Amino acid sequence: MDFYPQLQHATAAERTALLSTPLITAALSGQVKRPHYLAFLTRAFHHVKHTVPLLMACGARLTDRQEWLRSAVAHYIEEELGHHEWILNDIAAAGGDADAVRDSQPDFDTGVMVAYAYDTVMRRNPVGLFGMVYVLEGTSVSLASNAARALQTALDLPATAFTYLSSHGALDVEHIGDFERLVNRLGTEDERDSVVCNARAFFRLYGNVFRSIDLQENT
């Protein structure tokens, strides 16, 4: 049996818990306010800006035996360059202060998720970073385009305020196919266990990022 369906099965409960968070449920039904959307974009900026540095660190720590994986990481880096700038543009288009967000510090839960990612790469198994990739891209495929449409209608904002969600919903459909082929090539039990362990952790950590946005505020 290929590894990708095993990964899906092993993390199904954590995935369900993430998708049932109040913010996601509210966003898909158009029940959030502009401050909530700006809070989401701010958190997204503070983790997306680390995607390329994390991938670079991962590639640098792979072994000669994993050269094929280093090539895949290089491709991911090319695909992910500059995406945090898309988010700043969306913030400005939604009426937020993009410069203030660029200069700000992340909230606690986003900071913890980013720190866990660096710890995975630098102290444990760099291949485990693909557990984070699975969570972020898999969630995007499930939600991003639908959420963008619902939010644009509910918030009466221009399409230029949703480029991050809209583009990622489309891009990550292609990316998740590449991801499936990549993880199916992982040849050792240690590599596969690391991806599963980290996917479970990142479903929880990413869920905490969503839960940190209080829907009772700014209403």
Kind plus residue range of the DSSP H or E element containing 211:
helix 189-211
* Per-residue pLDDT tens over the stretch 47-67: 999 999 999 999 999 999 999
Which one, of 34, 51, 30, 144, lies nearest residue 93 by Cα? 34
Residue 16 carries which side chain, given as an amino acid letter? T
Q: Is the pLDDT at 172 greater than 80, yes or no?
A: no
Domains of the chain (ranges; CATH) run 3-211 (1.20.910.10)
Q: Cα–Cα distance between 92 and 40 in angstroms, integer?
A: 14
Which pLDDT band, with edges at 50, 70 and 90, does 98 fall under?
A: very high
Q: Is the pLDDT at 27 greater than 90, yes or no?
A: yes
Quote the pLDDT of residue 166.
85
Phi, psi of 137 (to 5 degrees): -75, -40
Quote the pLDDT of residue 1.
78
Quote the pLDDT of residue 210.
97
Residue 15 carries which side chain, given as an amino acid letter? R
Can you tell me the mean pLDDT for 125-143?
A: 90
Quote the pLDDT of residue 170.
54
201 CB burial (10 A radius; 0-12, 13-18, 19+): buried
Can you tell me the mean pLDDT for 103-130?
A: 98
Instruction: Give the SS3 label for residue 133.
Output: helix
Task: Kindly give the residue spans of alpha helices, DSSP state H, lying in 63-103.
Answer: 67-80, 83-93, 98-103
Q: Cα–Cα distance between 150 and 215 in angstroms, integer?
A: 16
Q: Look over the chain and give the mean of its residue pLDDT values, rounded to a whole number.
A: 93
Which pLDDT band, with edges at 50, 70 and 90, does 45 fall under?
A: very high
